[in-house]
Amino acid sequence: MSMNTQGRPTAPAAVSTPVIDTVSGSRGLLQREDLLFEIGTPETTGVDLPTPRGLKDRLGGVKRKADTGLAGLSEPQAVRHYMRLSQKNYAIDLGLFPLGSCTMKHNPRLNEKMARLPGFADIHPLQPQATVQGALELIDELATWLKTLTGMPSVAMSPKAGAHGELCGMLAIRQALIARGEGESRKRVLVPESAHGTNPATAVQCGFIVDEIKADKRGRVDMADLKSKLARTDDIAGIMLTNPNTCGLFETDIKDIADLIHAAGGYFYCDGANFNAIVGRVRPGDLGVDAMHINLHKTFSTPHGGGGPGSGPTVFSEALAPFAPVPFVIKDEDSFFRLVEQTEGAAKDSFGRMVAFHGQMGMFVRALTYMLSHGADGLKQVAEDAVLNANYIQARLKHVMTPAFEGFCMHEALFSDAFTADGIETIDIAKALIDEGYHPMTMYFPLVVHGAMLIEPTETESKAELDRFCDALESIARRAAQGDETLKGAPYLAPAKRLDETRAARKPVLKWTAPLPEQIAAE
């Protein structure tokens, strides 16, 4: 035989794992990464440019006198910096992302392929409309899908995020009240205490006064409290309600709520952040909703961190449709797709314009691709699977954690911290999840549940993946119930240890300053 005499060991030796403090600060492939200012210095440069000659200084007295102080880095230094940071990121493409109220679902790669077609990707919003008929038709087609899925007659496509869509809806309500001559008298907007923080913020931004409605013991709107708030009706502008609500529960009284608000002369704004739980199954228009934003970047894939940016088209009822913003696409008699951009003619009652152009084209393409590739039956199954997955998590963990409310949930499972031993808090459980390789769930929200843990698995996850996640969380929950103090120090395996949020909030350091020479010498 011919023999290879290198003798390189190819199996691990039987030694116990020592605690390794590396010299570099890196941990294997998880490299330690400093700030750009700590890597480079203002004295060095990554690019050699010739000194400009013959340039006339036209800046006069405003020309910089000092250096910019920016760190000079070579291209590989800069590339490695961002590559290393990106490897510390958590994304839906890496694993289950249980962030409640965020619908972090998989973003199909087909979406990306379609969004990159030159006819969509390489066009300019100021191009002549005759040269972008395909793009305008796509916006119109997507609008038709959104109107069909919500059972609403009108949609504004331009809002660029969920909260922007809320603003769109509330501005339309304000405009409708002004048109009725009640813009000054109807200022009160009812908002449940479990609402997303953006709801009251939007109402205040539009000049309304927020009146909070309590939740009942079932985690839903307290009807008695709602009726007491409606004892006076002549100042009611409307209600802002999320359905399913932020406790992951369907507001079973929603029809009665809508009727009460309408009888009081107000409008019903529905926060559509949780539309994923009911898409294809329930049409908000049938529930008496007057306006609702739809997060294309959640319900129809491309979650933030998975392809973003946001897009928040807002649907309107007959009552609010005339007040919707411009621009919108209409199809002329000769099948020409035209943008209505002025507040005249068909848009004479519009409250105006919210964005410079026509909305997030890339998101429109991705959302329509998602809809067409799923089909009507597929979208219905999305909602069913999302609800099934959340209920599976609730069922698997309810023996070790405390479900916030009795009964089935919708698309997210909500637990309180009642099961934890004294001294162990929700944040300790969330941080321990990082050591297990998961992004933490939404914590301390909604505010109506003490130490809330809100878990939304979405339909993306398989049973096997849900089981892996539940195994990890179950083990942490048992340690929390037993008062395992080591949880207070988690995460142990992350690039950064537990941060001092109190100090960061009380004494924020917003600017990097170079260490003084004596500090460097001391090190």
Partner 1 sequence: MTIYYTKDHEWIRVEGDTGTVGITSYAAGQLGDVVYVELPETGAKFARGDDFAVVESVKAASDVYAPVSGSVLEVNSALSEAPEKVNDAAEGDAWFVRVKLTDSGELSGLMDEAAYSAYCEGL
Report the residue from 11, 13, 356, 505 that binds partner 1 according to the rule CB under 8 A: 505
**Options 68-76, 143-151, 160-168, 502-510: segment touching partner 1 (CB under 8 A):** 502-510
**Options 22-30, 75-83, 386-394, 499-507: segment touching partner 1 (CB under 8 A):** 499-507
Size of the residue set binding partner 1 (CB under 8 A)? 6
Q: Which is nearer to partner 1, 408 or 444 (CB)?
A: 444
Given a contact cutoff of 8 angstroms between Cβ atoms, the answer to whether 297 and 305 are in contact is no
Q: Which is nearer to partner 1, 87 or 228 (CB)?
A: 228
Closest distance to partner 1 from the beta carbon of 489 (Å): 18
Structure tokens at 338: 């035209």
Closest distance to partner 1 from the beta carbon of 506 (Å): 5
Q: Which is nearer to partner 1, 2 or 502 (CB)?
A: 502
Q: Which is nearer to partner 1, 8 or 507 (CB)?
A: 507
Q: List helix spans (H) across 352-360.
A: none
Structure tokens at 440: 């933490």
Closest distance to partner 1 from the beta carbon of 452 (Å): 11
Q: Which is nearer to partner 1, 398 or 503 (CB)?
A: 503
CB neighbourhood size of 348 (10 A): 9
Closest distance to partner 1 from the beta carbon of 502 (Å): 4
Residue 328: φ, ψ to 5°: -145, 160
Closest distance to partner 1 from the beta carbon of 507 (Å): 9
Closest distance to partner 1 from the beta carbon of 477 (Å): 21
**Options 91-99, 287-295, 365-373, 497-505: segment touching partner 1 (CB under 8 A):** 497-505
Given a contact cutoff of 8 angstroms between Cβ atoms, the answer to whether 311 and 298 are in contact is no
Closest distance to partner 1 from the beta carbon of 483 (Å): 19
Which burial class, exposed, middle or buried, applies to 57 when counting CB atoms under 10 A from its CB (0-12, 13-18, 19+)? exposed
**Farthest CA pair distance, the chain:** 100
Q: Which is nearer to partner 1, 399 or 506 (CB)?
A: 506
Instruction: Sort strands 188-192 and 236-242 into parallel, antiparallel or unpaired.
Output: parallel
Q: Which is nearer to partner 1, 130 or 447 (CB)?
A: 447
Closest distance to partner 1 from the beta carbon of 445 (Å): 9
One-character DSSP codes across 471-520: HHHHHHHHHHHHT-GGGGG--SSSSS----HHHHHHS---S--PPPHHHH
83 binds partner 1 (CB under 8 A): no
519 binds partner 1 (CB under 8 A): no
Please give the Cα distance from 427 to 454 (Å, whole number): 12
Instruction: Sort strands 236-242 and 267-271 into parallel, antiparallel or unpaired.
Output: parallel
Q: Which is nearer to partner 1, 55 or 499 (CB)?
A: 499
Q: Which of 353, 360, 294 is nearest to 325 (CA)?
A: 353
Q: Which is nearer to partner 1, 425 or 474 (CB)?
A: 425
Q: Which is nearer to partner 1, 509 or 516 (CB)?
A: 509
Closest distance to partner 1 from the beta carbon of 450 (Å): 9
Please give the Cα distance from 418 to 430 (Å, whole number): 15
501 binds partner 1 (CB under 8 A): yes
447 binds partner 1 (CB under 8 A): yes
Closest distance to partner 1 from the beta carbon of 421 (Å): 17
Please, which residues have CB within 8 angstroms of residue 500's CB and are 6 or more apart in sequence?
A: none
Q: Which is nearer to partner 1, 200 or 307 (CB)?
A: 200
Report the residue from 53, 399, 506, 511 that binds partner 1 according to the rule CB under 8 A: 506
Structure tokens at 319: 């009552």
- Residue count (the chain): 523
One-character DSSP codes across 113-167: HHHTSHHHHT--TTS-GGGGHHHHHHHHHHHHHHHHHHT-SEEE----SHHHHHH
Residue 291: φ, ψ to 5°: -155, 140
209 binds partner 1 (CB under 8 A): no
Closest distance to partner 1 from the beta carbon of 447 (Å): 7
Report the residue from 444, 465, 467, 488 that binds partner 1 according to the rule CB under 8 A: 444
CB neighbourhood size of 36 (10 A): 15
Report the residue from 335, 502, 513, 519 that binds partner 1 according to the rule CB under 8 A: 502
- The binding site for partner 1 (CB under 8 A) comprises 444, 447, 501-502, 505-506
